[in-house]
Amino acid sequence: MLFDSIIYGPIHSRRLGLSLGVNLMPTNHKLCSFDCVYCEIGWNTPISHPLLPSREDVAKALEKALQELEQQPDVITFSGNGEPTLHPDFEGIIADTFALRNRFCPKAKVSVLSNSTQVVREDVFRALKQCDNRIMKLDSGLDRTMQLIDRPVNEQLTVKAIIERLQRFEGDFTLQTCFLRGIVPDGNGEAKIDNTTEEELIAWYQAIDSMQPKQIMIYVIDRKTPCERLEKIPRAKMDEIAAPLRQKGYDVIVSA
């Protein structure tokens, strides 16, 4: 399910409303610092010199799309074929996007769906701070599970490191977590995952309390995944996961 252009949609997002998508990654393969087992656009494709759209090309494509839209979007969303913050001109592209947003659809929000890996870059941090919605991923509070679900390219990445990066936003971000269970690749073999167990949830709740996000989005797999032996979590379980957080006063959105 690769996006074959810089701009796609608008599409009706379960969590964001009418969303005009912006893809900063190649249009013919996925490029991401994670290789998540549930990613609807498939596995990463190793390529030595991936072709990324230029800052100028992104601005031209976005301007054209905004001029031609019959209905203004609720949100301009950076997502696409991988991790948008990997683009070397991400900060400049965000600045261009706000200029175009203010010109064509001032009520629209600018959102970024990110896996949190690039917040260590100061240019990425500054750019994300400008955005209306920073939707940042944390799929588990345990290293072993995070490695199995998200399959980071940097195998040394830890949950602690992700938490420390997200703490830089001082709570001004949305945390996004996909809940799932099933059988996934593990080196030369297979492993069972389930990030809804008591052990998993205790660690995840502790991580949330250490970051204090302004909003939490939890969701389930909704489309075909590259790893075929995954199970969708029932709505009742998702509501059960959300309940303790809501009791503490967190704003929790459940998509199931």
Sign (positive or negative) of CA dihedral 175, 254, 230, 18? negative
Contact 148, 191 (CB under 8 A): yes
pLDDT, one tens digit per residue, over 154-167 is 999 999 999 999 99
Query: Tell me, what's the pLDDT at 188?
Result: 80
- 64 falls within a domain: yes
pLDDT, one tens digit per residue, over 11-47 is 888 778 899 999 999 998 999 999 999 999 999 987 7
Could you give the percent of the chain with pLDDT greater than 90? 88
- 240 falls within a domain: yes
By DSSP bridging, strand 133-137 and strand 75-79 are: unpaired
Could you give the percent of the chain with pLDDT greater than 70? 100
Query: Tell me, what's the pLDDT at 68?
Result: 94
- 69 falls within a domain: yes
- 93 falls within a domain: yes
Alpha-helical runs (H) found in 49-185:
55-68, 90-104, 122-130, 143-150, 159-167
- 1 falls within a domain: no
> In terms of residue numbers, what domain contains 172?
7-255
Q: Report the C-alpha gap between 79 and 82 in whole angstroms.
A: 7
- CB burial readout 69-105, b (16+ within 10 A) else e: eeeebbbbbbbbbbbbbbbebbbbbbebbeebbeebb
Mean pLDDT of 186-214: 96
pLDDT, one tens digit per residue, over 171-185 is 999 999 999 999 999
pLDDT, one tens digit per residue, over 42-74 is 999 877 778 999 999 999 999 999 999 989 999
Looking at the 3D structure of the chain, how many domains does it have? Answer: 1
Q: Report the C-alpha gap between 57 and 28 in whole angstroms.
A: 16
Q: What is the average pLDDT score of the chain?
A: 95
Query: Tell me, what's the pLDDT at 7?
Result: 97
**Which of the two residues, 13 and 83, has the higher pLDDT score?**
83
- 221 falls within a domain: yes
CATH code of the domain in which 114 resides: 3.20.20.70
What's this model's pTM, rounded to 2 decimal places?
0.93
Mean pLDDT of 214-230: 94
Q: Report the C-alpha gap between 215 and 142 in whole angstroms.
A: 21
Q: Report the C-alpha gap between 256 and 254 in whole angstroms.
A: 6
Contact 251, 201 (CB under 8 A): no
Q: Is the pLDDT of residue 250 over 80?
A: yes
Cα distances from 191 to residues 44, 79, 181, in angstroms, run 20, 29, 11
